[in-house]
Structure 1
Amino acid sequence: MTAEPGSLDEVRARIDGLDAELVRLLARRQRMVEVAARFKVDEQAVRDPGRVERVIEGVVRLAAEKGLSPAVAEAVWRAMIGAFVDLELDEHRRA
């Protein structure tokens, strides 16, 4: 386990590193969203509110297990999913 940071600069540097990891993971997620869009026949299939709620429920449950605030996890995932749905809808409309 890594020792706790000894200064604010070190905290910020570690956060910057985590942000870089998150961007890499989000790029991978985006690629899967783009692939999924090919299988969807209409905008309702893109929006799929039932799927969104199942994802949120799973993430909130996992967050609680892993020490992440469930409220933070829900807010982040709702924003992320909303942004990816918008991206997917744009792609779907162009196709």
Structure 2
Amino acid sequence: MTSFITPCDSLADVRSAIDQIDAMLVDLLAERGRYVREAARFKRNQAEVAAPDRVKQVIDKALAHALESGAEPEVVEAVYRSMVAAFIQIESRQHQALQARQAPDAGTMSGCICA
């Protein structure tokens, strides 16, 4: 995908365009976050949440796309490493919460026949 920037007549125009891009990025991060939280439902343990092989795959794909699109690979890698680490923390909390809801409550007397 090749993109062409709109010519700007001032620094205010540049900043306005960047602000629009930032808003789109935040919207995309929100959408990505919803999928990350959804992924927690399908993982059996914290090792699957961390998924180092998947992290490498995601970063490698992003770097390949950076080279194709003309993005700065150093920036893409730094952003992706930070983003993925933050999302892993969110997914880990989500996974823990889901596991806590599924675990039997140790404080109950389930299965006990009480007189």
TM-score, length basis structure 2 = 0.78
Distance 1:49 1:3 in 2: 39
Distance 2:6 2:56 in 1: 37
Match of 1:74 among 74, 77, 99: 77
Alignment partner of 1:9 is 2:30: no
Q: How many residues were matched structurally? A: 95
> Which residue in the other structure is 1:64 paired with?
67
> Which residue in the other structure is 1:55 paired with?
58
The share of aligned pairs that are identical, in percent, is 43
Q: What is the identity, as a one-letter code, of the residue corresponding to 2:87?
A: F
Which has the greater radius of gyration?
Answer: 2
Greater relative contact order (CA < 8 Å, ≥ 6 in sequence):
2
Match of 1:89 among 89, 92, 106: 92
Structure holding more helix per residue: 1
RMSD: 1.1
4+ runs of 1 displaced by more than 3 Å? Answer: none
> Which residue in the other structure is 2:106 paired with?
none
Match of 1:35 among 33, 38, 43: 38
